[in-house]
Amino acid sequence: MQEVKFVDLSKQYLSLKEEILQSFDRLSTTGSYILTKDVTEFEEKFASYCNTKYAIAVGNGSDALYLSLLSLNIGHGDEVITTPNSFIASAGVIARTGARIVFCDVGDDMNLDPNKLESVITKRTKAILLVHLTGRIANMDKIQPIAEKHGIEIIEDAAQAVGATYRNKKAGAFGICAGFSLHPLKNLHIHGDGGIITTDEKWLYEKLLKFRNHGLKNRDECEFWGINSRLDSIQAAIANIKLKYLDNWNGQYRKLANLYSNRLKDYVIVPNVFEHEKPIYHRYMIQHPNRDKLQDYLLENGIETKVNYPIPLHLQEAAKNLNYKKGDFPKAEELANSILSLPIYSELEEKKVTFVIDKIVQFCTK
């Protein structure tokens, strides 16, 4: 008996059912399912949405990042910096190239702390895989000049940040390229896995088009060994339908986040957002010293919450050969013990948010 679910994807589908079924029927009838004009259309629309010159649709958000790294010739002997409080894939894609994962601690915004960045840069650093966690863009004012000074590329991990802005510039328009995810749990999602890369660089665009399709430059000629990571046409068709509504949905996320923050700020730590940023609240996270008890209390009251993420990446078993230890990234570790993601999605009713708020206030004043 769940009263407030963490997410409910079926509501969005039901609101778009006619459009989605029509495109499924149209595509199925043509009998052409891979790299059709639905994909090109989505790439053009998505690039224009992010204000970049190009976009390349791929099989998932992880491949978007992996292919970005490979296209920049990053591999064995190189180092790539990322943050330890992200989803597994932010580190996994670096390891997959053969490069070394180098973690940098985060700040109060839960994103890379610019004050700690220079201490982890070495001669081998090739790139920063910059995560915009929770749909909030990292501190570009400070990070970009440091990257430029050291000649390091920024690849944005914008998987959680589609539509987020920073000084009126969208996520995906800051780095040499950016990877987005269209996974069902992301703000712009399709009915399965999918991803997309944005870039302003023509050479990178042309390379990525081949990379995602076996390295083929035409039907029969292979220029280099690539992989098969394409966005299905049916998924691109769904993405084209949904992109039209994204700004409305993101507006709804912001409205619910404000509702949470306004009433919770005296009881828990809420996101401290600055004037020049417009996050999209892919996750709405609070912090509380008794997080586990709070989470249990909410569950007893029918409210489903999550911890994104309970184990920092440097403490994962998969990372043991990197020789990090507990205490290396105090902020990320502190967050792992205190953060709680509250229910948020574009169709969530305000009265349910009010119910969640009431229960949190009850817990804090008990």
Ligand X SMILES: *Cc1c(COP(=O)(O)O)cnc(C)c1O
Q: Which residues are at the interface with ligand X (CB under 6 A)? A: 60-62, 86-87, 89-90, 131, 157, 159-160, 181, 183, 193, 195
Min dist. Cβ of residue 275 to ligand X (A): 25
Interaxial angle between packed helices 37-50 and 233-243, expressed in degrees from 0 to 180 and rounded to the nearest 10: 40
Min dist. Cβ of residue 345 to ligand X (A): 15
Q: Do the Cβ atoms of 38 and 30 come closer than 8 Å? A: no
Closer residue to ligand X, CB minimum distance, 341 or 346: 341
Min dist. Cβ of residue 60 to ligand X (A): 4
Pair of tokens at residue 304:
């489903």
Closer residue to ligand X, CB minimum distance, 93 or 256: 93
Closer residue to ligand X, CB minimum distance, 87 or 249: 87
Closer residue to ligand X, CB minimum distance, 135 or 357: 135
Q: Which residue is nearest to ligand X (CB)?
A: 61
Min dist. Cβ of residue 63 to ligand X (A): 7
Min dist. Cβ of residue 219 to ligand X (A): 28
CA distance 28 to 233: 10
CA quadruple 232, 87, 296, 253: dihedral sign = negative
Min dist. Cβ of residue 58 to ligand X (A): 9
Q: What is the DSSP letter of 106?
A: B
Please name the amino acid found at residue 249.
Answer: W
Q: Tokens 């068709």 sit at which residue?
A: 237
Closer residue to ligand X, CB minimum distance, 103 or 363: 103
Q: Tokens 């299905």 sit at which residue?
A: 232
Closer residue to ligand X, CB minimum distance, 232 or 294: 232
CA distance 187 to 49: 14
Q: Do the Cβ atoms of 222 and 214 come closer than 8 Å? A: yes
CA distance 342 to 252: 15
Q: Tokens 């996520």 sit at which residue?
A: 171
Cis peptide before 309 (omega within 30 of 0): yes
Q: Tokens 């948010």 sit at which residue?
A: 353
HSE-up (13 A, CA, CB side) for residue 250: 23
CA distance 54 to 199: 5
HSE-up (13 A, CA, CB side) for residue 294: 27
Pair of tokens at residue 144:
């970009």
Min dist. Cβ of residue 355 to ligand X (A): 27
Pair of tokens at residue 151:
């000649």
Closer residue to ligand X, CB minimum distance, 195 or 343: 195
Min dist. Cβ of residue 160 to ligand X (A): 5
Closer residue to ligand X, CB minimum distance, 94 or 204: 94
Closer residue to ligand X, CB minimum distance, 114 or 179: 179
Min dist. Cβ of residue 88 to ligand X (A): 8
Q: What is the DSSP letter of 174?
A: S
